Amino acid sequence: MVQMTVFHDGNEQKFIEETGPRDEILYNLLLSQDESQVLIALYDQNDVLRYANKGWRAAYHLAPGEEVAWGALMRRNFEAGLGTVLATQNFDEWLISTQSRRGKVPFRAFETDVVDGRWLWMTETVQANGWMLCIASDITPLRTDDRRLRQDRDLALRASQTDELTGVGNRRFIMTRLEELTRRELPLDAAVKGCVAVLDIDHFKAINDHYGHQAGDQVLLDFARHAHSFVRRLDCFGRIGGEEFMLILPETPLETGIGILERVLERIRMARPLQNWPDLAYTCSVGITALRAGDTAQDLFARADLALYEAKLGGRNHISVI
């Protein structure tokens, strides 16, 4: 590891990044763009802002040298009526839906409005080490009808990737990310890292039968919200059908993945999702497997699903590993 120094208007901030000439070239390039009219920011693998030029800081109301998690910044600006224009009344639902897509693919481009009236074309480029470079250009002068068409396209794309009930990624989105995990081109001497888990709410049919399907939907929403709170920026979480969900943990050793899921299970055990039945508690079972050299997406899914089956047979409310 090497330590570099970032200067934000005279305030010194530590910037830790993996060593390598390409990283240093990128970073030095960023430092030269502080006065650029293009908005530039760099987020680390935990989605904490580590560099932003003056244009970005002005648009998103950041203090000089401030480092803040993306989700916390968006919440702060939403509550203050600043930054990005969000067409939602429920910020938490919007955040889960957006974080389900943010940083999950190597490159993404989309349009966004800011409250000062500007219309920005935003790109997100994710590096192999998980750092994400964001660049935004002002495209306000473009024709309004063209803008409307592109906004409709973006909304349609978002809907095609999102589970309608829970707001997390849907089966199509999560299975595409699983395919990408197994298709990565790695150096011959590189260690294969990553794991995949399938999570299933225990006795969900009984909840539906006893409390009704609306209550069942509330349990699904509660589960997705709690589980998603443990998802890191490079991870991917989605609903694959019914009460079954998948969590993809790239570049993650199996032991680390198990630790994350143990915290998920503990959170779910403490959850009380139904206001009309405050004593209702529920649990979930998990099957997890590590990525192996030569695995296909079908191989990973099959092993994780088999591990889930073993967790169910073993009494539920725990993690089984294959």
Superfamily of domain 2-161: PAS domain (3.30.450.20)
E strand or H helix at 219, and its extent?
helix 213-228
Question: What integer pLDDT is reported at residue 316 of this predicted model?
Answer: 93
Question: What's the CATH number of domain 171-321, 3.10.310.10, 3.40.50.300, 3.30.70.270, 3.30.300.30?
Answer: 3.30.70.270
pTM of the model: 0.72
Burial 217-249 (b: 16+ CB within 10 A, else e): ebbbbbbbbbbbeebbbbbbbbbbeebbbbbbb
Give residue limits of the domains in the chain: 2-161, 171-321
pLDDT band of residue 224 (cuts 50, 70, 90) is very high
Residues 127-144: pLDDT tens digits?
Answer: 878 899 999 999 888 756
Residues 71-114: pLDDT tens digits?
Answer: 999 999 999 999 999 988 899 989 998 898 898 888 999 888 89
Mean pLDDT, rounded, for 209-215: 92
Q: Which residue intervals of 60-170 are DSSP H helices?
A: 70-80, 91-99, 144-161
DSSP-based three-state secondary structure for 160: helix
Mean pLDDT, rounded, for 304-322: 95
Question: What integer pLDDT is reported at residue 290 of this predicted model?
Answer: 94
Query: Is residue 164 flagged as an active site residue?
Result: no
Total Cβ atoms within 10 A of residue 38: 13
DSSP-based three-state secondary structure for 262: helix
Q: Catalytic pick from 12, 243, 266, 310?
A: 243
Tokens of 184: 């990565």
Question: What integer pLDDT is reported at residue 140 of this predicted model?
Answer: 87
Residues 180-205: pLDDT tens digits?
Answer: 888 876 555 556 689 999 999 999 99
